Amino acid sequence: MTLILITVISICVASGILLLLSREVFKMVMGLAVLGSAANLVVFSGGRPGSLVPAVIEQGSQALVANAASPLPQALVLTAIVIGFALLCFALILAAAVVNQQGKTDVAGFQENEPSAPAGQKAEPDKPPVMEVES
């Protein structure tokens, strides 16, 4: 079980990073989503994933059986999935809005926020150069 999880996590991380390095904006967002699944699996694997013994104390007994599954990581993963899903939806809409507004999908082309020219080129203080369109 652990070996399967490790394999799946490594595949997820590798493909997530590959997608993240792409310059296409939607691929980038999908890369984050795949990486998110990898992170969820990491949390999941922290809770003794191979065990089939439920985390319930038997009647009459005082303590849990030794190798019972830990329910807490599953609860944590559930929370993380919900948050991650909401963020993914938001990110997709955000990416769509950026693509619509700028008319390109290349991440390297998103430069509106960067100062349009190096600011150090101020030569004469009396004559301010025209730069950076401000809203």
Partner 1 sequence: MSLLWPFLLPIATSLLSVFLKGRLLTGINLLSSFALLILAMQLLFEVVSTGSVSVVFGDWPVPYGIEFYADGLSALLVLLIALVSAVVMVFMVSWEKTAETPSYFALMQCLVASVIAVSLAADLFNLYVWFELMLIAVLGLMVAGKGSRHTEAALKYFAVSMIGTLIMLSAIGMIHGAAGHLNFNALSQIAASDDAGNSLSLYGGMLLLAVLLKIGAFPLFAWLPAAYHALPAPMLALVGGLLTKIAVYVLMRISGQVLDYQLFHEAIGWLAVITMLSGVLGAAYHWDLRRILSFHIVSQVGFLMLGLALASPAGMTGTAFFLFHNILVKANLFLIAGMVWMTAGHYDLRKIGGLYPSKQLLTIIFLLSALSLVGVPPTSGFWGKLLIIMETFTQERYLWAAAALITGMLTLYSMSKIWVEGFWKPHPGEPINTSIPVSIYVVMLLLSAIILLMGLIPGPLIDFLQQQQWPQSNQGGVL
Our CB check for partner 1 shows the closer of 63 and 114 to be 114
From 50-58, 60-68, 111-119, give the range in contact with partner 1 by CB under 8 A: 111-119
Residue 24 has φ and ψ, to the nearest 5°, of -80, 130
- 68 contacts partner 1 (rule: CB under 8 A): no
The yes or no reply on residue 12 touching partner 1 (CB under 8 A) is no
**What 3-state class would DSSP assign to 55?**
coil
**Amino acid of residue 120:** G
Rounded to whole angstroms, what are the CA distances from 31 to 25, 38, 133?
10, 11, 32
Applying CB under 8 A, among 101, 104, 106, 116 the residue interacting with partner 1 is 101
Amino acid at site 64: L
Give whole-number Cα distances, 134 to 24, 112, 114, 123, 131, in Å.
Answer: 27, 10, 12, 22, 9
Q: What are phi and psi of 2, to 5 degrees?
A: -65, -40
x-or-dash string of contact with partner 1, 19-58, rule CB under 8 A: -x----x--x---x--xx-xxx-xxxxxx-----------
Interface residues with partner 1 (CB under 8 A) are 20, 25, 28, 32, 35-36, 38-40, 42-47, 72-73, 76, 79-80, 83, 86-87, 90-91, 94-95, 97-98, 101-102, 110, 112-115, 119-120, 122, 125-126, 128-129, 131-132, 134-135
